[in-house]
Structure formats: C-alpha cells, structure tokens
Amino acid sequence: MSEILDIVDEHGNPTGQTVEREKAHTQGIMHRTSHVWIVRKKEEKIQVLLQKRSINKESFPGCFDISSAGHIPAGCGYVESALRELSEELGVHAYEEDLIFCGDRLVLWDDKFNGKVFCDRQYSRVFALWLSQDEKDFILQPEEVDAVLWMDLEQCMEAVKQNTISHCMVLEELEMVYAAVNDEEDASIS
C-alpha cells in the first residue's frame, strides 16, 4: 500500500491536496518530513546519535544519517510524526515537551537511485532531543536502521564538511542543532 503525503507550499502548509510518496519523489512534489537529532552530554562534549541506514534502503544504504526522520503522512503533524518515528525506528518514547525546535529547512535536490530519478522537495522541521542512553539500549527497526553510533557533534560536523564518513547528512542542519542545543544549555545555566 502506498504512503499518502500532504502536498505543501514553500512554507510547509498543506494545500489540501495529497500525493503518493513515490509520485512525490519522481515528480518533485513538495511534501513534509520531521527530523529528530538525539543529543547527550558526555565528558563535557555534546554528542549526537547517528543512525546507520539499513543496507536494504533504496536511497543511501549503509550511510550515516539523522538520528530519526520520516515523511509525514497526510493529516498528521510534525510533532506527532517525529514522536512516532522515534518510537518505530529506535524504540524511544518521548513527549512533545521533550523536543527542542531547531528550525525549518527546505530540501531541494535531485539524484538517481537504482536507475530511477529521485527529485526530493521537502519542507523539514528539525528537532533535537536530549537522551543519555547507550547504543545497545536502543531498539532498532531492522528495515530502517542497521546500527546507531554516538559521535561528538563538532566532530560529526567536521566529518560532514570534509566528507570523511559515508553519510547523507547536511551541514546546515547539524549547525541548526548545534545552535539550538547550545542556546538551550546556555539558558539553563543562566
């Protein structure tokens, strides 16, 4: 059964129309996603949890990615979708008040996967979530996630910038997370 998404405008507002996920990606139709970056503080450094995408994924198999992310089904909201994806992909149960809003971003890029055109047009809402948990304690959804890895956030940003790890992350989004968690940490000290 095909996943149905809301078609949205350039500000992420639903237009009242829907589209099948595959058609959205073949025709470059704007839709929404939620991204959640799990962070923790260890040895005075902020770390980010990276998801290693399943080797069976059509796009970017085996690459490091956002802690948890997903398309937003038609009729659902950003937070509802973010919390559902956390639970499904990582076995993490969180609440709306646990999420730190980092910002919104437009994703506009084209590629080919397995010989098929892939035109991604998404409006993404980015969140962070403080969670100090060992990698072995996450319950991974095998169709989506092969493994998770904690990495110092600044080291991760540099690895993405220099392209020294196999990834499908965007530096701009990591910078949004870095700013949001540091602002929140500064506010809690004041």
Tell me the pLDDT tens digit for each residue of 34-57.
Answer: 999 999 999 999 999 999 999 999
Q: For a pLDDT cut of 90, what percent of the chain falls above it? A: 85
Q: Which residues, at least 6 apart from 77, have a Cβ–Cβ distance to it below 8 Å?
A: none
pTM of the model: 0.94
Helix (H) or strand (E) holding 103: strand 100-113
CATH number at residue 94: 3.90.79.10
What is the per-residue pLDDT for 163? Answer: 97
Q: Are strands 14-20 and 68-71 parallel, antiparallel or unpaired?
A: unpaired
Structural domain boundaries, residue 51 = 4-189
What distance in Å separates the CA atoms of residue 36 and residue 93, rounded to the nearest whole number? 13
How is residue 22 annotated by DSSP? Answer: H
94-123 per-position pLDDT tens digit: 999 999 999 999 998 888 877 888 889 999
What distance in Å separates the CA atoms of residue 133 and residue 184, rounded to the nearest whole number? 20
Count of domains in the chain?
1
Give the CB-side neighbour count of residue 115, counting CA atoms within 13 A: 0
Amino acid letter, 23: K
The pLDDT-based confidence of 146 (bands split at 50, 70, 90) is: very high
The stretch 64-85 carries a mean pLDDT of: 97
